Amino acid sequence: MSLGEFDLIAKFFTRRVTRAALGVGDDCALFATSPGMQLAVSSDMLVEGRHFLPTVQPARLGHKALAVNLSDLAACGAKPMAFTLALALPRVDEVFLDGFARGLLALADAHGCELVGGDTTQGPLNICITVFGEVPTGQALLRSGAQAGDDLYVSGRLGDARLALEVFRGALALDGAAFEAVRSAMEQPQPRIAFGLALRGLATSAIDVSDGLLGDLGHVLRRSGVGAEVQVDALPRSEVLRALPQHWQRQCTLAGGDDYELVFTAPPQHAARVAAAGLTAQLRVTRIGCISAAPGLRLIDADGRAVVDSFGSFDHFKP
Amino acid sequence: MSLGEFDLIAKFFTRRVTRAALGVGDDCALFATSPGMQLAVSSDMLVEGRHFLPTVQPARLGHKALAVNLSDLAACGAKPMAFTLALALPRVDEVFLDGFARGLLALADAHGCELVGGDTTQGPLNICITVFGEVPTGQALLRSGAQAGDDLYVSGRLGDARLALEVFRGALALDGAAFEAVRSAMEQPQPRIAFGLALRGLATSAIDVSDGLLGDLGHVLRRSGVGAEVQVDALPRSEVLRALPQHWQRQCTLAGGDDYELVFTAPPQHAARVAAAGLTAQLRVTRIGCISAAPGLRLIDADGRAVVDSFGSFDHFKP
């Protein structure tokens, strides 16, 4: 017996909403931002084979679909409020939906982010989430604020998600424990919400690393009208990644994608406050370079020698 | 030469935003509701073959993708503000994108609704729009407010979109002018924004007809804890539809779907104000029945005889 559309919404996705005046089940969801706050909105669409593998556990997919959206709020320093979910499914698969909803709603609960509406339809598997947060007016972290002389930082570690993808692709092999560690980075990224909030008033610019460090940093540099020097050997990476040849280390950290860490800039006089923000959020924070007035992105190694950028950023319309 | 993802966003979808503090091109869009206003949010996903035919003109598809979302704002009595667009495309097709963006943005401009962000990716064609409006706190039109004794109304005409679909399916044939008229109803629905605003403080409940009158009215009745009597021969329909056998007329008006008209309830003492709201919005408004305390939906013909409901509502997971 198959569930119809309305039963499906009711069974898996209707929850009591507390923040929203009206949640799933009317034409619109209704809610309000607090006085003095701006709404921060981001929308991400996930497609099978491009953003996730068909073999991913449904609960992990539910987690990741929301995590990549929350990561955009983190990069703006916004506090999560609510989200909508639009879902195209080839068929009603209750095992899939049960797992997907569990993973999705567990992460939503962890960040106080309420499901307030959405849409379900039949079609090739596609997950589109739009997330809403709030940030005090004028205090959002933007891509456009980096200043010459700023330090350049990244949260957490880079490259494990790409490493896992290369194992799935058969380009590399890892033993079981190592593979599980990097697979978790790929399938269960943790949006850096608390850290993003801590960076308000401290960072001059921020972006989350979704398409690879070089590409995403490039957006900051273009928007800010500045350049940067990045110390490629300083990029934070796991022991698993460190055990691999240098080429893989650089490929995965510089142009891996799917990291969902925050890259941000802050003036040198804020270095101690940046370190403190990392401690508060229980997150490793690494200085990886600095911002220059001269445009362009220069990569240097531990000995100060130039590294040629042959890595490229991820583009959804390039192979 | 194919456009990459970022070029594509820039070329077709970047516009100067006036309402939003920050539009396409940062991690989040930022904007604020006016004091005393609630945010109204709705999200709809359109899939090829289910919500539109592969042969539809791109400009009409762009129009419709936004129209179905604006229709949800209309049903809440909300004023459009902004929207996000997430788009999965099999390939970068500039002819398609140019037409799609033109149709989409023309309707957006007509309603002062700004594109503030989104996502593009490679995948089976899928269009997911999330739309934002604002409504004075507590004044949104809900599904839950219908009262026994209320009159039941519908805007515009019902059934032409379904009739067009049946022609595409080969179940019916129409001559050229008649077909173009109903095809336009299917492909270029007009969201009833002005009328929805005029119904604030007047209608006790409202919903837009997307899955068919009976099914959508059913949501209102369940949410409001009431029943209704609908006069099937009073349902407003085009001359094209009136020329067809009674079975088709009833099928298309009662359970056609894709109408995007407003079904709403109002107490009899507001009848003159309802008529005036229709005149102001230059929209035909028809009383099609009344709300009863007794639950259930009763269909009657022009002679007061019961009509058996064998029509069914549209469900995206039923054939």
Summarised one tens digit per residue, pLDDT across range B224-250 is 999 999 999 999 999 999 999 999 999
B224 touching chain A per CB within 8 A: no
Between residues B32 and B305, the one the model is more confident about:
B305
Note the pLDDT of residue A34. 85
- Which pairs from B179-186 meet CB under 8 Å and 24+ separation? B181/B238, B181/B240, B182/B238, B182/B240, B182/B241, B185/B157, B185/B160, B185/B161, B185/B238, B185/B259, B186/B160, B186/B161, B186/B162, B186/B258
Mean pLDDT of chain B: 90
Alpha carbons B50 and A188: distance in angstroms, whole number: 32
Mean pLDDT of chain A: 90
Radius of gyration of chain A, Cα coordinates, nearest whole angstrom: 20
Check: CB of residue A33 under 8 Å from CB of residue B32.
yes
User: Picking from A11-25, A117-131, A266-280, B125-139, which range would have the lowest pLDDT averaged per residue?
Assistant: A11-25
Q: Is the ipTM of this complex over 0.90?
A: no
Answer whether B39 sits within 8 Å of A25, measured CB to CB. Answer: no
Taking only the tens place, the pLDDT of each residue in A279-315 is: 999 999 999 999 999 999 999 999 999 998 776 655 5
Alpha carbons A2 and A8: distance in angstroms, whole number: 9
User: Picking from A147-151, B174-178, B308-312, which range would have the lowest pLDDT averaged per residue?
Assistant: B308-312
Work out the average pLDDT over A208-219: 94
- The distance of A280 to chain B (nearest Cα, Å) reads 24
Note the pLDDT of residue A31. 82
Tokens of A75: 């990069």
Q: What percent of chain B lies above the pLDDT cut of 90? A: 78
Could you tell me the pLDDT band of residue B297, with boundaries at 50, 70 and 90? very high
- The distance of B314 to chain A (nearest Cα, Å) reads 9
In this prediction the pTM is 0.90
Contacts with A, B 28-47, CB within 8 Å: 28-33, 35, 37-45, 47
Note the pLDDT of residue B35. 87
Note the pLDDT of residue B2. 42
Q: Which residues of B touch A88 (CB under 8 A)?
A: 45, 47, 126
Contacts with A, B 147-176, CB within 8 Å: none
Work out the average pLDDT over A205-216: 95
Alpha carbons A113 and A211: distance in angstroms, whole number: 25
Answer whether B43 sits within 8 Å of A317, measured CB to CB. Answer: no
Given a cut of 70, whether residue B8 has pLDDT beyond it is: no
Q: What percent of chain B lies above the pLDDT cut of 70? A: 90
Given a cut of 70, whether residue B25 has pLDDT beyond it is: no
B217 touching chain A per CB within 8 A: no
Answer whether A121 sits within 8 Å of B316, measured CB to CB. Answer: yes
Probe site for chain A from B3, B52, B128, B199 (most A CB atoms < 10 A): B128
Answer whether A75 sits within 8 Å of B132, measured CB to CB. Answer: no
Q: Is B56 helix (H, G, I), strand (E, B) or coil?
A: coil
Note the pLDDT of residue A6. 53
Note the pLDDT of residue A33. 83
Crossing angle for the helix pair A58-76 and A176-187, to the nearest 10 degrees: 60
Probe site for chain B from A13, A43, A200, A208 (most B CB atoms < 10 A): A43
Taking only the tens place, the pLDDT of each residue in A53-106 is: 888 999 999 999 999 999 999 999 999 999 999 999 998 888 999 999 999 999
Note the pLDDT of residue A2. 42
Note the pLDDT of residue B7. 64
Note the pLDDT of residue B319. 42
A235 touching chain B per CB within 8 A: no
Work out the average pLDDT over A254-279: 97
Could you tell me the pLDDT band of residue B1, with boundaries at 50, 70 and 90? very low
* Strand-strand pairing, A37-47 and A79-89: unpaired
Domains of chain A in start order, with CATH, are 5-136 (3.30.1330.10), 151-300 (3.90.650.10)
Q: Give the one of A30, A37, A44 whose C-beta lies nearest to B119's C-beta.
A: A44
Note the pLDDT of residue B27. 77
Note the pLDDT of residue B5. 60
Taking only the tens place, the pLDDT of each residue in A1-22 is: 344 565 666 677 766 555 555 5
Note the pLDDT of residue A19. 54
Probe site for chain A from B12, B27, B130, B313 (most A CB atoms < 10 A): B27
- The distance of B128 to chain A (nearest Cα, Å) reads 7
